[in-house]
Amino acid sequence: MNILLNSKKVFLSIFIITAITACGYKPSAKFSRDTMGEKISTSVVISSEDPENTVIIKDAVDRAIIEVFQASLVSRSISDTHLILNMSSPSYIPIVYDQNGFIIGYRMSILLSITSIHNGVTKSYRALGYHDFSVAPNAIVTDQERFEAIDFSAQRAIRSFIAQVSAEGARSKK
């Protein structure tokens, strides 16, 4: 019985690998790397209204470049692509109220304006990210909750940007 179960697992694994490779599947990171290059540098325009969030955005961008683009972070002088990020002021919108009318849920939204400079060609992108979070009724949003919401929103905005770049790379391959 054990041998039959193991042979089914092996057959299923081989079938899945063959199906994925035979259909020409390419991960989106490949298309984005083809568009952006292997070495990327970043800079974030510091917001005079909200300077502490600039650090959160910079960290989120750098993480996404390593994890999703699967590229290297380098200095601007040796980069294939330089990204300049400008964040709009984060906005909080109440989205959930309890039976007494107190706000118990917010949506944090961030709009990133991203300028990409690759081989002397400048392109502009806009990416929206949001994160829904809850708070206790009649409570003030703490700095920790605000920073986490901004981080999650920034990550979503960056993933939206990566999807735009990947789609652009996929279209250029056709």
pLDDT digit string (tens) for 14-23? 777 766 665 5
Q: Say if 131 falls within a structural domain.
A: yes
Angle between helices 52-64 and 143-173 (to 10 degrees): 40
Contact between 135 and 95 (Cβ < 8 Å): no
Contact between 70 and 33 (Cβ < 8 Å): yes
pLDDT of 31 reads 64
Burial of 81 per CB tally in 10 Å (0-12, 13-18, 19+)? buried
pTM of the model as a whole: 0.72
Contact between 83 and 41 (Cβ < 8 Å): yes
Among 2-6, 65-69, 72-76, the minimum mean pLDDT is found in: 2-6
pLDDT of 90 reads 82
Q: Say if 67 falls within a structural domain.
A: yes
Which has more pLDDT, 83 or 57?
A: 83
Range of the domain at 156: 28-173
Give the CATH number for residue 155. 3.30.160.150
pLDDT digit string (tens) for 103-137? 899 999 989 999 999 888 899 999 999 999 988 87
How many separate domains does the chain show?
A: 1
